[in-house]
Structure 1
């Protein structure tokens, strides 16, 4: 079972790698404002997984919603793009490339024999600003390339507009930045960043997904802890300097976080304030890196503030609106110490949790179905059989496929810890051995409800197992997704 003290422990043996801690009032923030922000997110039904607020270089408030925890890395999705951008800035400073280099110049072996004028005009800076001239994201053609050569596939996509004139959010463009970086440096993106950016910041974790040819995806796929996200934002807030040492040039930081291309006119929308080099401009003089389902690194230069967040929500604008409404007005310089408010906030931050669903704790059906093996009809998950063994404080679910058994231990009304691969067909990486938190309850006397949280990702899956005599039907749904949240159902019969 999950132990709260274990979850709250930050497993860092070298304390000098941690950011300094302080109280909100010591850096000009009212504790009551942070508490109000937490309440607003909760009342809006937004699922946050972690939060860290830095002011004047110190952590003023931090919290993790259990079973998420400080030591766990989290999928960043497109927040990865800002790290890829930083690698390009470093490579430019080393003279490995120029932002004005033609994209096709790096890959003559796979470039079209007669490239179009627009493709020929595409420069590295156009990849950075999402102004490649494409009409839509190129990831469709890249991911469907039969030979796995995403670079060749990108260079084959028609470029309908003059580069630099039209914004289209394009993860394929960021992948090309990773491919270019690997071509000119001879090492993969994460390996390039490790000694130049991650190590100086004390970021010791980190993994990155790769394409079929072994190039890091660039536009997504990086996993880091919340504190590492915060350090990255603080580096940019400090204009590229860390502990007195320059990591990124000030010119790069200014250029990367400034508006490089127009992307809309909605004054109330934080996705239409302009785009830099893999950074979004925000309202209120801020900029950010962000990723799907609420992964954020928000920098407010005028307030000397950084906010790092991980989440599992489709309402990313709602997350930002809460910050602008409740936190932004509270970023002042003249705040009187308020021990009672600080203690109340500390209690609130220390008790953050995403409770497992609890409906009916048990069902008379448990004794009948416990240990029974249900043979499953053919399904896209390739599971062949399922059984559930009920014990006093948990249910042990065993799924079988051609490779063997997958055992999932679910707490009775509480989270149980485990590890496992991700479901096939779900919107996240398969094959990785991800941390999980699982629980079960009974929706009614015949319907077992299992909640499975992949606590290094934004995702959780709810499975409803309906037992009807010898028949079993399982309906599954994921909380957030790029497509329909409904996953294919499973059907089986007791053998």
Structure 2
């Protein structure tokens, strides 16, 4: 996946920044509690900082979760520019009678495209759980109660973004990814882009996009350049101006950087910034005052902590303030867990019900101290094995091994193992996503118990499995 650089490189000093200040920023990211995986800073169109914490790599595509929404916004803006729809079109006009409820409430009838874009649909809570990624997601969304008048209440709503993707597909005859390929992804060089597709054949829109760090930086630079790229206007300037501006108030949110206003699938942030962000710490942050864009991929349950590090350590550098020198670590890496080598196993294969958070279906611990873990793909049930052994990360390939991952992501995985008494402790890093799993395996007679732990998850982060007879 390695390719020629699409953004020019420069020294920080040539772009009005200090290497000392950026070193201090990297050091602060490395020392912080949130796990950082990659970072890239672009100033005046030049990359002045790019780092990856091994085994993560800048060229690997990365699951972006809700950063996907900002790309969906781009697709809607292009469709509006093409005359296919307007902000004030009713949502129900795009769907067939068999998808609509028998009785259309006044609030559903009043819901417009702009309400989907601004997360003001009138629903009392995010609709994504109600949709459950069912085969009839459009129909379910349209059948949900719209308790409030659209436009009166901000409620973060990934289901609304799914509906935007569905509308673009209905109007263009192609899914959102295919629609954006020649208009956005290919001009930016983001040809590696993949996007999850629902069971009813619609790109998920609000989540599921995977691209690499530099592709996301190109998108961030496109925003700063008001939709212009290499002399061509890819996206209307007025669309990005509106999308990244405050369209609605969202001061009903708790964290300070999530209550500065919301645009068209973009957040407003403190210090006159805007951003797309995704679960567990995926960011594209625009600093229009300083002509800079920052990309971070990471794994954390505390996204505000990462933004606080940006405000405390990067913002002063952009402002030209003096920064206390702090040397960056000689090597940026996330090391494999250490411990004694596992004792040899019995070579038997223990079977599990694969309906668990990591799709684990079988474990075999061999006499040589290695373990083979069989997984079932969440999308199609196909099996694949990953081997764990002591020492440094062992690189392999897998597909869709963690719930919420698409078949296209998670293709690169690293594993390691150590022994903890009678337990075999295996660690898996799906390095095209934030997910890390630790599986502690113990055998008692003819039964194996696996205590699992996920670093981040939309559900429980801990679970216990017992082998089937």
- What is the TM-score normalised by the length of structure 2? 0.92
Structure-2 change in CA distance of 1:93 and 1:275 (3 Å): same
Aligned to 2:335: 355
Where does 1:195-206 land on structure 2 (aligned, <5 Å)?
195-206=182-193
Aligned to 2:94: 106
Structure-2 change in CA distance of 1:144 and 1:330 (3 Å): closer
Aligned to 1:6: none
Assess if the C-alpha contact under 8 Å between 1:267 and 1:273 holds in 2: no
Assess if the C-alpha contact under 8 Å between 2:62 and 2:409 holds in 1: no
Where does 1:122-161 land on structure 2 (aligned, <5 Å)?
122-143=111-132, 145=134, 148-161=135-148
Secondary structure, counterpart of 1:270 in structure 2: helix
Aligned to 1:410: 388
Structure-2 change in CA distance of 1:121 and 1:476 (3 Å): same
Confirm whether residue 481 of structure 1 aligns to residue 457 of structure 2.
yes
The structural deviation recorded for 1:492 is 6.5
Counterpart-to-counterpart distance in 1, 2:410 and 2:255: 40
The structural deviation recorded for 1:158 is 1.1
Out of 262, 265, 282, the residue aligned to residue 275 of structure 1 is 262
Aligned to 1:61: 49
Out of 48, 53, 56, the residue aligned to residue 36 of structure 2 is 48
Aligned to 1:463: 439
The structural deviation recorded for 1:247 is 1.2
Secondary structure, counterpart of 1:199 in structure 2: helix
Aligned to 1:227: 214
Aligned to 2:66: 78
Aligned to 1:395: 370
Counterpart-to-counterpart distance in 2, 1:480 and 1:246: 39
Structure 2 gap segments, 5+ residues each: none
Counterpart-to-counterpart distance in 1, 2:366 and 2:322: 56
The structural deviation recorded for 1:374 is 4.1
Aligned to 1:310: 297
Out of 438, 447, 455, the residue aligned to residue 415 of structure 2 is 438
Counterpart-to-counterpart distance in 1, 2:406 and 2:464: 18
The structural deviation recorded for 1:154 is 1.0
Counterpart-to-counterpart distance in 2, 1:31 and 1:22: 11
Deviations 1:111-137 (A, max 9, x none): 234311111111101100001111111
Structure 1 gap segments, 5+ residues each: 1-9
Confirm whether residue 380 of structure 1 aligns to residue 380 of structure 2.
no
Assess if the C-alpha contact under 8 Å between 2:393 and 2:414 holds in 1: yes
Secondary structure, counterpart of 1:412 in structure 2: coil
Aligned to 2:20: 32
Aligned to 1:3: none
User: Alignment RMSD, CA only?
Assistant: 2.6
Assess if the C-alpha contact under 8 Å between 1:379 and 1:490 holds in 2: no
Counterpart-to-counterpart distance in 1, 2:82 and 2:376: 50
Counterpart-to-counterpart distance in 2, 1:445 and 1:334: 52
Counterpart-to-counterpart distance in 2, 1:249 and 1:321: 32
Secondary structure, counterpart of 2:207 in structure 1: coil
Assess if the C-alpha contact under 8 Å between 1:446 and 1:468 holds in 2: no
